[in-house]
Amino acid sequence: MDSTNPSSEVAHDFSPLLKVHKDGKVERLMGTDIVPPSLDPKTNVDSKDVVYSPEHNLSARLYLPKNTNQNQKLPLLVYFHGGGFFIETAFSPTYHNYLNDLVSEANIIAVSVDYRRAPEHPLPIAYEDSWDAVKWVASHVDGNGPEDWLNRNADFQRVFYSGDSAGANIAHHMAIRNGGEIIDGFNVVGIVLIHPYFWGVEPVGSEPTDVKIRAGTERFWLFACPSTSGLDDPWVNPCADGSSLASLGCARVLVFAAEKDFLCPRGWFYYEKLKEISVDYRRAPENPVPCAHDDSWTALKWVASHVNGEGPEDWLNYFADFQRVFFSGDSAGANIAHHMGMRHGREILDGVNVIGIVLIHPYFLGREAVGNETADAKKRDWVARLWRLTCPSSTSGCDDPWINPAVAGSDLASLGCARMQVFVAENDFLRSRGWFYYDKLKESGCRGNVEIVESKGEQHVFHLINPTCENAVAMLERTASFLNHQEKA
């Protein structure tokens, strides 16, 4: 290339993937090789290319295994290639060889989707192309689509999405879209995400915290999606606030992570978020307490309806171990978690074994100050007025068992779980009440093991406000250890 020509100068260097020159030319440094479709001699898998979007001249590569029984439909895999949204195609030798092997091993029919790439076609174009491909595949549901391989061989009641890296990102979003735009006769059973390309503003797990590394990752994402709101855009951070993983339009999810991949912690984070069940409930003052507690119990009964594997939500049917159930919440949510434990102790949910409860900075009060709780009359009156607004039917004020579980007459020993973990924060005005609850639990003869953890120098729910600080990370690790603890036989 003529280095004296100003137009040949590099404007953006993302080596070893690509360079973009000042004249707009995109120089891809890898992922440019392609191979034609063929009958693979090693696997006997046949392949061919078909156009799914004449408007944009986009094709997909279809794969069909050997000795296909015309009377037996095969599971259908829709695959999205990786490459950071910048490089690779559905026709590269990397993906051609991989799909040949997978189709042979799994005895499936596969559609490998090609899509337009950034930076010439910035996101969300790749998502729109991929959805067009999904709709084209679904056009064969009634057996009258344009491609006979799909008409004759695909079982549209057993559809899977998969992809690697950026392709795994796309597969996730196709499942989300499938959850919102149901395609008649097209049943997506599961998604397989291989080293998914997800990220976020704040580091998670062992993700690098180095400012330069994170800035470089952000620059890469902004180049792929210049219209983005940043690294907490749901396109790249499916766990960001406002995202709804529960709307995934499939029953099963398999996530692959690689130990030395810098995306590994993010894959684990996605997995953990998928497993969480977060309960929404009606809030005061429009819906005063105990509405929130009643809603939460209704949610628990709904969860318990999946014990026999025949509930309305396949994620719970397939994945939940109802012999290892935990309740948890923070602040008012910790109050609710406590009361759900108490109610479960009285009204056992058949088949549900609540092992433990994790209370984070629980919102408990009392008429009389305990420990180093403030004795200031004005402050205590403000707290009492807030509680009366929350629960106007309360006749005993801050000694109502809804807000003071240690009040005389309460039976903490009836908590329906084997283990308790209580978190308090040194500078939280609720700290002393958390310690008082812990002490009363131990005095009550509660059948479970009880532990308390105090975070020094921290305020109320600091772990949500600053989730990457040292104490928040330690708190997360302590909670994970509590959840994963196995009693010795």
Catalytic annotation, residues: 331
The dihedral sign for the CA sequence 311, 315, 317, 321: negative
Record the tokens describing residue 66, joined without a space. Answer: 């050997």
Q: Residue 132, Cα to own-chain centre: how many angstroms?
A: 25
Q: Is 63 helix (H, G, I), strand (E, B) or coil?
A: strand
Record the tokens describing residue 377, joined without a space. Answer: 């009359």
Residue 114 per-residue DSSP state: P
The dihedral sign for the CA sequence 332, 334, 337, 341: negative
Taking residue 28's Cβ as centre, other Cβ atoms within 10 Å add up to: 16
d(CA 239, CA 174): 16
d(CA 268, CA 167): 17
* Torsion angle (degrees, nearest 10) of CA 268, 462, 435, 389: -110
Burial label for 363, CB within 10 Å (0-12, 13-18, 19+), is buried
The dihedral sign for the CA sequence 478, 479, 481, 482: positive
